[in-house]
Structure 1
């Protein structure tokens, strides 16, 4: 078994996102239902969702890409400990270098690597194979913020869309939104 990096930043978290294990397993099963042969997770961190998806998609191989070398090392160790190391590659790189098509693409909290949401969705569309699935975790405004509210978190009011605007953007790019089950 591979040695797990020593405890440190995020050591007690399964995910670097507000996601429960139960919900992650539901998402993994949903992605696996499309019978992917290749799964890519851009901005994967330590790849927990990618690993859970590979565990329920036995025909699939995976690629996890992140700029954080320590997180990538943690992902490699977790893959080895779960017997998945022969089916997944973890790479220290920028999300934008990932261009090979995949049946399932995961991008949670990493769309900023592409620029804005529109740039991210267009770039991700190019790597999702026809009939494939994209799991995109990004921000939306519940209501338009004032310039001061947006500035208080380092953003501009037009940095994000509302949910309807995000759905319109994805449809306009060529995606078809799916209603989650479970």
Structure 2
């Protein structure tokens, strides 16, 4: 099975590709205020739920969703919601893609595609017009990570910042948070068990071949084991609405404090 197919199946019951509940997604999107005619881009859009809800809230704007492996469900949902004429889905590597500046830049759970948090925030800034808004979500450590958490996730302790470190990174890139949400344990469990459960359900009930069944079950077990054997209660996730404060009210860049 292709990774994109596994990703698509795993998110069937949780199309928000992050440990964020639907009501929290709507709350976060509500902090964005693009004007009619604005353009939005979602870097590493996955299923495209963040971008689609932004478009639903603001009928006068258009959007572009970028991902190197686009699931088919994103385009299907956008058609069902009547958004097909206002959104483009482009399957390409987000770090290499460019189409000018956007009024809103979304990037939730996709820092790995850019090589880490700093490079992701740099990409958000490159795509954002002066004075625009961004919505960024990324992993954090809830506390100093244990050896079991590092082993389960196969990362080093400096792979993610803590919450204060994430906010400092925003400031270093000229952003000021206007609102933030730290995912709860319930949101994490719902996301993780929906992810593995969707794969198990598909493998047992609908897999067309024995090989597909085995691959889907293996992916579910690997993800579940990593979550339960170390990541749970230690790996966190935070999402922030950000204002560009590296530009003055007229879009003129102002000096940053060292």
Deviations 1:71-94 (A, max 9, x none): 1x2211111111111110011111
Q: Which residue of 2 aligns with 1:101?
A: 101
Q: Which residue of 1 aligns with 2:140?
A: 140
Q: Which residue of 1 aligns with 2:126?
A: 126
Give secondary structure in 2 for the equivalent of 1:178.
strand
Q: Distance in 1 between matches of 2:112 and 2:44?
A: 10
Number of aligned residues: 173
Q: Distance in 1 between matches of 2:125 and 2:151?
A: 30
Q: Which residue of 2 aligns with 1:157?
A: 157
Matched-pair contact (CA < 8 Å) for 2:34–2:61: no
Residue correspondence of structure 1 range 55-74 to structure 2 within 5 A: 55-69=56-70, 71=71, 73-74=72-73
Question: Runs of 5+ in structure 2 lacking a partner?
Answer: 1-7, 182-258
Give secondary structure in 2 for the equivalent of 1:13.
coil
Q: Which residue of 1 aligns with 2:171?
A: 171
Give secondary structure in 2 for the equivalent of 1:150.
helix
Matched-pair contact (CA < 8 Å) for 1:147–1:156: no
| Misfit runs of 4+, over 3 Å | 146-149
Structure 1 pair 152/10, CA: closer, same or farther in 2 (3 Å)? closer
Deviations 1:64-119 (A, max 9, x none): 111223x1x22111111111111100111112123331111111110111112111
Residue correspondence of structure 1 range 80-119 to structure 2 within 5 A: 80-99=79-98, 100-119=100-119
1:147 Cα deviation after fit:
5.2
Larger radius of gyration: 2
Question: Runs of 5+ in structure 1 lacking a partner?
Answer: 1-6
Q: Distance in 2 between matches of 1:67 and 1:75?
A: 13
Q: Which residue of 2 aligns with 1:20?
A: 21
Give secondary structure in 2 for the equivalent of 1:139.
strand
Q: Distance in 1 between matches of 2:107 and 2:97?
A: 12
* Greater percentage in helix: 2
Higher relative contact order (CA 8 A, sep 6+): 2
Q: Distance in 1 between matches of 2:79 and 2:31?
A: 24
Give secondary structure in 2 for the equivalent of 1:123.
helix
Matched-pair contact (CA < 8 Å) for 1:102–1:127: yes
Q: Which residue of 2 aligns with 1:3?
A: none
Q: Distance in 2 between matches of 1:44 and 1:122?
A: 17
Give secondary structure in 2 for the equivalent of 1:167.
helix
